[in-house]
Each structure stands twice: as structure tokens, then as C-alpha cells.
């Protein structure tokens, strides 16, 4: 198989693919597969007829979908795979870090040695808490394993109804889920159904002690509604690795709220992408060649 790496070649994944017997070529040299790690502006206007598969380096492909790129090339027979499941451990650990930072009130710590304030406000994950994983796929399963020492009651929320390893129960997303849990970790793909799933209405169903952690997609959360709830105490806190808009403007109110911990979309980082994407591309190519569905093949109509 001949492969191209766009927009900027990376040594580690190229070396991995070459070690599997594949050949790195330029886009002009009729590759069979393209590994792509850029945004919509980086994607070529045209692909040669030789390209059968595009392996995207990220799990999230909404920007490419919204730009019409996937549909355009899929109409010419190109199949797309994302990196879903490749970063379960890194994103799960980052979600746990955000949850701990919010509950331990790390952002509220001040040079005034405000331990009296923290005595009142700090919480612990082990203290009879209930957590809902909204979108309980691979990241959720890994996070459940990471949370096991805390003894939390965990509800896995998915559309299939299939049991999730380690969860106490599996549920659809109902009003009772919003009302009965202390923590909500958002992991679901972004679709028209999930856009702004956390909004003024759903926040109104939550306990005022609830904490939201978003390591999925920024637009899963209605930012003005979240900001208002954190400001007026309708929510205890939020941990955000993704935001809408992104990046969040430097003067946005969320930066100044001590019950909101924000990281700049670093739940997974480039060196882990580069370390792992070559192996996934090779696996997906093998499946493609065997006439099978790729392990992370994108359903363009579903949006993920």
C-alpha cells in the first residue's frame, strides 16, 4: 500500500507504516491511503482516483463534515476512518483530572490561605456520589475502570441499551438521569441531536450540587446557559476541555469563575496521536483490503 501523510508528514507514524511494509509517497504519487491530521482548510480539493481510504487522526470529524468534505469525496467512493477509541486512556485520565480539580476546588485556592473557605466547599468523589457517563463508549469504559477505587454509583447512558462493563446500570438519557446524578461526563459525538444537550432546560433538572465535565465536543454545552448557572449557583461546577466557541475568548466570564476549570483542548495531545495513528491506519487498511468494515469507519449520515 502507498500512503500519503497530510498536511505535514510526521516521522513516527510514517516509520510505523513503513515497518509494516507500506510506502510513504506524496499526494501526487497516487497513494492508496491518506493519513490526515489537519482541518478543513488543509484538505485537498481533489484526490486522485487511487485514494481508497482516508484515515483521520482525530476522533472528532464534525468540522470536515460541516465543510462538506467527507460527503464530496465519499461520493467518489472514498471511505473514511476516524481515530475513535484510540485515545480512550488519555481522555479518560484527563476527564478524571478535571473532575478532581473541580471537586477539590483547586481553582479557588488563593495566596490568602483560604482554607476555611475550602473546608466548606471541597468535596470528595468517594462520598456516596453518582455519576452519569453521557455517551458510554470506549472512553467511558476506561473512565469507569479509573473511577473504581472511588466506589461511585455509575450510570452509562447510551442509545443502544447495551450493558457497559463496570457500570451499575445502562440507561437512555431521561429526565431522571439529569435529576438523580451528581456528576455528568460528556463523551458523546456531536450531532444535531446532541448539540446543546446541556442547556438551560436540562440544567434546570439537575441538582444545584451537580458538576459537568465536557471532554467530548464544545457545542454539547450551551455556553451562555452554563455560565449563568455557574454564576448564580444553579450548578456547583464545571470542568471543560472543549468549549463553544473554541478557543474561548480571553475576556470570557468563564475564565474568572473559580468553580470552572478550563483546559485548552488537551485531553489528548499530539505526541500520543502520532504514536498511535500509524498502527490504526495499518489495521484499517488490512480490513479494507479484506472487504470488511474498518474498525473506526465513519458513518457520514450518522456524523461519526
Indicate which residues carry an active-site annotation: 217, 246, 265
Backbone angles phi and psi of 210, in degrees to 5 = -75, 150
State the DSSP string of 187-215.
-PPP-TTTTT-BSHHHHHHS-TT-EEEE-
State whether residue 238 is helix, strand or coil.
strand
The DSSP letter of residue 219 is: G
The CA distance from 113 to 260, in Å, is 20
The CA distance from 213 to 37, in Å, is 26
Task: List, in sequence order, every residue forming a beta bridge with 154; answer none if it has no partner.
Answer: 131
Cα torsion 103, 136, 223, 183: sign: negative
Longest alpha-carbon distance in the chain: 67
Amino acid at each position: 500500500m502507498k500512503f500519503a501523510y497530510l498536511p505535514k508528514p510526521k516521522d513516527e507514524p510514517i516509520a510505523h507504516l513503513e515497518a509494516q511494509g507500506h510506502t510513504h509517497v506524496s499526494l501526487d504519487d497516487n497513494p492508496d491511503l491518506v493519513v490526515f491530521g489537519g482541518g478543513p482548510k488543509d484538505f485537498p480539493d481533489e484526490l486522485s482516483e487511487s485514494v481508497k481510504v482516508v484515515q483521520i487522526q482525530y476522533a472528532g470529524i464534525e468540522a470536515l463534515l460541516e465543510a462538506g468534505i467527507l460527503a464530496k469525496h465519499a461520493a467518489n467512493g472514498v471511505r473514511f476512518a476516524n481515530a475513535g477509541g484510540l485515545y480512550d486512556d488519555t481522555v479518560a485520565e484527563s476527564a478524571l483530572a478535571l473532575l478532581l480539580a473541580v471537586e477539590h476546588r483547586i481553582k479557588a485556592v488563593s495566596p490568602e490561605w483560604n482554607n476555611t473557605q475550602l473546608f466548606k466547599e471541597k468535596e470528595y468523589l468517594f462520598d456516596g456520589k453518582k455519576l452519569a457517563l453521557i455517551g458510554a463508549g470506549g472512553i467511558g469504559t476506561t473512565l469507569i475502570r479509573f473511577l473504581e477505587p472511588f466506589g461511585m454509583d455509575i450510570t452509562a447512558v447510551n442509545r443502544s441499551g447495551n450493558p457497559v462493563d463496570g457500570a451499575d446500570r445502562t440507561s437512555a438519557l431521561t429526565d431522571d438521569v439529569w435529576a438523580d446524578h451528581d456528576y455528568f461526563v460528556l463523551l458523546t459525538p456531536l450531532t444535531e441531536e446532541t448539540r446543546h444537550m446541556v442547556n438551560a432546560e436540562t440544567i434546570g433538572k439537575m441538582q444545584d450540587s451537580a458538576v459537568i465535565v465536557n471532554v467530548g465536543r464544545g457545542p454539547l454545552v450551551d455556553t451562555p446557559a452554563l455560565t449563568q448557572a455557574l454564576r448564580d449557583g444553579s450548578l456547583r461546577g464545571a470542568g471543560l476541555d472543549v468549549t463553544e466557541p473554541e478557543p474561548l475568548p480571553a475576556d470570557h466570564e468563564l475564565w474568572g469563575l473559580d468553580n470552572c476549570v478550563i483546559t485548552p483542548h488537551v485531553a489528548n495531545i499530539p505526541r500520543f496521536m502520532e504514536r498511535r495513528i500509524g498502527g490504526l491506519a495499518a489495521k484499517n487498511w488490512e480490513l479494507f483490503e479484506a472487504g470488511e468494515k474498518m474498525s473506526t469507519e465513519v458513518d457520514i449520515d450518522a456524523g461519526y
